[in-house]
Amino acid sequence: MLDDFAPKMAAVITGYSVGIKEGDYVYITAPTTAAPLLEALYEAILQRGGHPQLRLSLPGLQELFFRHASDAQLAFLPPTEEAWINAVDVYMVIEAIDNTKALAGTDPAKLAKSQQAISSVADTFYRRLGAGEMRYHLTLWPTAASAQQAEMGLHAYREFVYKACALDQPDPVAYWTAFRERQERLAAWLDGKTHAEVRGPGIDLSFDFGGRRWVSCHGTLNFPDGEIFTGPVEDSVNGRVAFSYPSLYMGKEVSGVTLTFKDGLVVEASAEKGEDHLLAQLEVDAGARRLGEFAIGTNMGIQQYTGNTLFDEKIGGTIHMALGRSIPESGGVNESTVHWDIVHGMQDGGEIWIDGELFYRAGQFMVG
């Protein structure tokens, strides 16, 4: 069944997700462990008249960097970074993890300093993306390490990814087109509304989103996909959430995260595991303590935790919130080098009320 995995995935990404056109300059960053998908994408981009450029990394290099880099090396930004981010038409990132715990022992302060060094590139990335000057795409190629993180065998994990991408459908492009239409109806219903209250096991939170946009994610930026999100008004978030899912951010696992918000700021934060990393990220910059995103996961083909945010934030029946930078497309204006998505389950009776009307209960939309 999976003999066509890489070519089929490349065809959907280049034909539907980012729509490669003749003359597009396409910059792809990936580890060598993504070789099957890299080869298929390279061929598909060439066939569509694009100009692919690969930036490859080797397993273990990131770990070596953080083990040996001085403060000056952590703060160094190669001049080529600014050049390519200003030039590309399409920027693709492929995850193909060889070791999910490679950075587990890294000093959180080193990770934070490295993030700060790329802040100008991140600013350019989000500006160009928000202005429609560049298309971006993130996907994953299954590896043994990712399968182990998800507590699956490699063959089972490959099947999981294949189905999560709807590559098992007779016509994946038609599937994602219909998916997009359903979600855009929900986003249209939310248009013009102003206030959300989120209640249920582990959560009692409210925020305003008047003047902001709800955005449908349907396979164009991420693959697989499945969420609708907005940017909360920065000083409006109040309440508490005890996140029910663990999170892996910058190679470090954090679980049992509890956050309390007052007038938009995190005023209390704790974690059962990885609390030092959580607290360090909250201090990276002034925007790290605010919510840049609130989202609802809608991919009912993903129903299990895998330890990878690309899938976990899409789980049908969940919500997620991102500490830090807003996504410009939503109208959010919070700025930060951090953008950390953390997932919370709503399957056991969680509700979202919009302007006093029940919008969502236990994974099901009550409107539209």
Nearest to 161 by CA among 179, 183, 176, 139: 139
* Residue type for position 323: L
d(CA 127, CA 293): 16
Q: What is the pLDDT of residue 307?
A: 87
The per-residue pLDDT for range 228-266, each reduced to its tens digit, is 999 999 999 999 999 999 998 887 889 999 999 999 999
Q: Check whether residue 64 and residue 113 sit in a common domain.
A: yes
Q: Does pLDDT of 177 surpass 70?
A: yes
Domain annotation covers residue 47: yes
Mean pLDDT confidence for 197-209: 97
Query: Quick one: what percent of the chain has pLDDT higher than 70?
Result: 99
Q: Does pLDDT of 115 surpass 90?
A: no
Q: Check whether residue 194 and residue 330 sit in a common domain.
A: yes
Domain annotation covers residue 212: yes
Domain annotation covers residue 368: no
209 is written with which tokens?
């989103």
Mean pLDDT confidence for 167-183: 94
DSSP for 30-54 reads EEGGGHHHHHHHHHHHHHTT-EEEE
Confidence of residue 107 (pLDDT cuts 50, 70, 90): confident
Q: Given 138, 164, 190, which residue is the final one in a domain? A: 164
Q: Check whether residue 72 and residue 26 sit in a common domain.
A: yes
Q: Does pLDDT of 1 surpass 70?
A: no
Domain annotation covers residue 234: yes
Q: Does pLDDT of 3 surpass 90?
A: no
Q: Check whether residue 250 and residue 307 sit in a common domain.
A: yes
Domain annotation covers residue 97: yes
Q: Check whether residue 111 and residue 248 sit in a common domain.
A: no
Q: Does pLDDT of 163 surpass 60?
A: yes
Q: Check whether residue 153 and residue 189 sit in a common domain.
A: no
Q: Given 120, 143, 164, which residue is the final one in a domain? A: 164
Q: Does pLDDT of 304 surpass 80?
A: yes
Q: Check whether residue 147 and residue 177 sit in a common domain.
A: no
The per-residue pLDDT for range 13-51, each reduced to its tens digit, is 999 999 999 999 999 999 999 999 999 999 999 999 999
Q: Check whether residue 147 and residue 196 sit in a common domain.
A: no
Domain annotation covers residue 280: yes
Q: Are 348 and 362 in contact (CB under 8 A)?
A: yes
Domain annotation covers residue 367: no
d(CA 355, CA 358): 9
Q: What is the pLDDT of residue 219?
A: 94
- Give how many domains the chain has, as a whole number: 2
Q: Check whether residue 125 and residue 261 sit in a common domain.
A: no
Confidence of residue 103 (pLDDT cuts 50, 70, 90): confident
Q: Check whether residue 120 and residue 232 sit in a common domain.
A: no
Domain annotation covers residue 303: yes
Q: Check whether residue 274 and residue 350 sit in a common domain.
A: yes
| Neighbouring C-alpha atoms within 13 Å toward the C-beta of 305 | 12
Q: Given 147, 164, 181, which residue is the final one in a domain? A: 164
Q: What is the mean pLDDT of the chain?
A: 94
d(CA 103, CA 114): 13
Burial environment of residue 26 by CB neighbours within 10 A (0 to 12, 13 to 18, 19 or more): buried
The CATH number that applies at residue 19 is 3.40.1830.10
Q: Check whether residue 99 and residue 190 sit in a common domain.
A: no
The per-residue pLDDT for range 315-352, each reduced to its tens digit, is 999 999 999 999 988 999 999 989 999 999 999 999 99
Q: Where are the alpha helices (DSSP H) in the chain?
A: 5-12, 35-47, 61-68, 71-74, 79-87, 108-117, 119-130, 144-149, 154-164, 172-190, 275-282, 309-312
* Residue type for position 275: E
Q: Give residue 235's domain range.
A: 172-362
* pTM recorded for the entire structure: 0.82
Residue 149's φ and ψ, nearest 5 degrees, are -60, -40
Q: Does pLDDT of 112 surpass 80?
A: yes
